[in-house]
Structure 1
């Protein structure tokens, strides 16, 4: 353990070349710093080399300046939903929602996704009990973190007063979703993204207009997930001619969106979006009938994606 912590300390004391993750705003920063934190705490009283006690003095300022900034102003995340889950879990472990991105069957898994987890860390300490309630009801809720973070005093319905649709408007990763119910897994869930295709710690895809559809207990329009992280050139660049965009699961052709002459979208794409909603909200009952005047609309101009 001391050997590995020593490598981490080298990043801060001697600017080791492998420390590029120290300035990342996404899960690379969260996970690397989280590992150093937990490792240092584990041997803090037994480390005769004075390595472990020096770790927190370096990682806390780095965490505040970088991965704590991973959340965008509208409540979304600088990377993908999967990386949000992966990264924010490490952030929560260090500090000791994401509700809308979970569909009726699985996440809206745009960009790089290794798997489609539906649970989120129950961050009870931020005084948002609905987040803990939401996580408790996920199919894969049973995780090691559930034991120290579980709060038996929290009760009620996480969806009580929660809008059926939402628009994350930050231009970097704008997307919207809408559903017919928070409690009926056979209902409709539709989500679509626009946003910039790059600038997500290399986890974005050329996928403006990407969408998913859940209905009747099935995902009818979905995603293939990530490409191979160790494939040649996968993370070398986000330029238009990058090897990354030659792989099917990252290029436009492999995503659930419009394709023009099999061309990739532009890495500089910045589509405009419009969103409108009747702001229909579900109350505490598990049975919800959508009012006849309920409506939501999301449009994006994809012509700017192809130049």
Structure 2
């Protein structure tokens, strides 16, 4: 279907819609005229998205040479055989989202189209076509929640492009019409396209979906395609700049997997179809972000899951893209472990899994070595530090520390919090998020970021249940921000120090927290606090799934799965060791079975300076911690 709008009107429409975004573009060379010139030179044959015609041989060669990749290939084919008898997705909306249907469609279409291209078996082609026509017939793709549109557009674009020569003219027409009317054109509606100004995953995902549709239809809709691609290249830096300066992703591990994966799809599609990334990979921090992601996983396989992040690690095709691009196979150390695990049967749940095989570097996964550095530190909107004693020992000590601000998208009031793995167990944990719809269906305004937002009434989201400090029962200050002030990577004295004062600006005069991994044997957490001109009540909390026994006025014994750790508390000010229940306070809160809070309370005199040190040790053989001003390390500007 040709657009009803002329080339000139389309260009004017594009520039009118784009005018408010252009000044942010900086030096990214992706204006509409440049993109149109690239499209005119583009190979007009299909497939051209991510994986061109004839490149199946390269993938099959890698599959033949690498057992782990061969297992992925076989898993995809087995899953596609299972899908043959499954009905296509239906337009069933959950709350305000159709997103689970869009994601499932993308998963099915990409895997089925991959199976057809690598086997040429008609059963996969027909089943993919059935799925594609079903979603093309939906009344709409739910533009009021535009992530739904973006992922559905990408799904249809991949199916249309990868199977183009085998689809009937009628099927191609139906898919093309759906991509135009239900995908790309709604993105020019001001009611829906706020993602263009977003600085988080919405920008990355929605722009990626739109350029997949635009590239798939480029020979038939050159002006619309050029405008859509140019708009995306000019606006996606708003989200990509958040990786600076060191590669950290402000929204945490889980949303890295979402936003970054679609950002990689975006860049890979541009490079494959148009031969350029238009300077996007030069944006500060983006090339370094894979190290951040890998460093967020402890030796238990559990994630440093601050903010709205889940606890589990999964297969990540984007990491294969980074490993190949950066020529650093060690970035796949954790991915190698996942693919080697006997419990990896769920990998086909990853909706872009075939790209793992497309992007996989030539080196065999079995020969990959562990990363060289045991510490990762980064600033940005959500500064974090992770350090460990080993990448290869499952019983290694791992500490993940979180600074930053509660004002960041998907953030919690977890500034100063940390997680801790020792002896193959997680002793200091984080709940992560509550399922969104369970709150939204009760009328909770989940995503507010003001100080009085309902978000902070949710049990899991405020500082009372994180491994941090609470003064006078008050919440952390949303507008506060803490960076990494100094850090040490000395093997026997890995440490980090952060000034949290603005996070508690209305509660204490100053507060600094330092965390150190000493002698590769035990962990120290030290807080130094200066109070205001009134008595201040301090609550120090640790969230754990371990059983806790208060031994005496300064010692707690933690035990789980037959293993023990001790918390030894040290202070000049009187302490009261306590445990607190994690039974939530509202009926809309999720339950938290098998967990508890352990820590202490203390009343701090007015205008006083206090220090509190807590040791995490398995042997009680520790050395007294120095004041923070004696901790040596580098400053991290």
TM-score when normalising by structure 1: 0.81
Residue 166 (1) aligns with residue 373 (2): no
Alignment partner, residue 227 of structure 1? 434
User: Higher relative CO (CA 8 A, sep ≥ 6), structure 1 or 2?
Assistant: 1
* Deviation digits for residues 121-140 of structure 1 (CA, Å, limit 9, x no counterpart): 22244223235532532426
How far apart are residue 254 of structure 1 and its match? 3.1
Residue number among 190, 193, 197 corresponding to 1:23 in the alignment? 197
Alignment of 1:42-121 (within 5 A): 42=216, 55-63=228-236, 65-96=237-268, 97=290, 98-104=293-299, 105-114=301-310, 116-120=312-316, 121=318
Contact 2:413 2:476 in 1 (8 A): yes
Give the whole-Å Cα distance in 1 for the aligned partners of 2:190 and 2:185.
Answer: 6
Give the equivalent residue in structure 2 for 1:255.
Answer: 466
CA offset at residue 7 of structure 1? Answer: 5.1
**1:282-293 counterparts in 2 under 5 A?**
none
Q: How many angstroms does 1:112 deviate by? A: 0.8
Range that drifts further, 136-145 or 258-267? 136-145
Maintained 8 Å contact 1:271/1:304: yes
Q: CA deviation at 1:75?
A: 1.5
Sort the Cα spacing of 1:90 and 1:187 in 2 relative to 1 into closer, same or farther, 3 A: same
Q: Which residue in 2 is equivalent to 1:147?
A: 357
Contact 1:5–1:51 under 8 Å retained in 2:
no
SS where residue 354 of structure 2 aligns? coil
Q: Which consecutive unaligned segments of at least 5 residues does structure 1 have?
A: 281-293
The answer to whether the Cα contact below 8 Å between 1:25 and 1:78 also exists between their aligned partners in 2 is no
Instruction: Tell me how far 1:241 sits from its aligned partner.
Output: 0.4
2:449 aligns with one of 231, 238, 242 = 238
Equivalent residue number for residue 128 of structure 1? 327
Q: Which residue does 1:184 correspond to in 2?
A: 393
- In the superposition, relative to structure 1, how do residues 146 and 49 fare at CA in structure 2: closer, same or farther (>3 Å)? closer
- CA offset at residue 68 of structure 1? 2.6
Deviations along 1:117-161, one digit per CA (max 9) or x if unpaired, are 25442224422323553253242685332211112336754435x
1:54 deviates by 5.2
For the pair shown, the structure with the greater C-alpha radius of gyration is 2
Decide whether the 8 Å contact of 2:405 with 2:479 is kept in 1. yes
Alpha-carbon distance in 2 for matches of 1:136, 1:242: 38
Aligned to 1:288: none
Distance 1:61 1:164, change over 3 A: same
CA offsets, 1:71-90, max 9 Å, x none? 12122113212111211111
Moved more, 137-146 or 17-26: 137-146
Tell me the number of residue pairs that the alignment of Structure 1 and Structure 2 aligns. 286
Q: CA RMSD in A?
A: 2.8
CA distance in 2, matches of 1:131, 1:163: 11
- The whole-number CA distance in structure 2 between the counterparts of 1:99 and 1:21 is 28
2:482 to 271, 287, 294: 271
Of residues 245-254 and 131-140 in structure 1, the stretch that sits farther from structure 2 once superposed is 131-140
CA deviation vs aligned residue, 1:58-103 (integer Å, no higher than 9, x gap): 322222x323323121221132121112111111111111222121
- Distance across 1 between alignment mates of 2:455 and 2:475: 11
User: Given the alignment, which residue of 196, 199, 208 partners 1:34?
Assistant: 208
- In structure 2, the residue matched to 1:211 is 418
Alpha-carbon distance between aligned partners in 1 of 2:239 and 2:183, rounded to the nearest angstrom: 17
Question: What displacement does 1:276 show?
Answer: 3.1
Distance 1:134 1:8, change over 3 A: same
Gaps of 5+ in 2: 1-174, 269-289, 348-352, 507-637
The normalised TM-score by structure 2 is 0.41
- Tell me by how many angstroms 1:11 deviates: 5.7
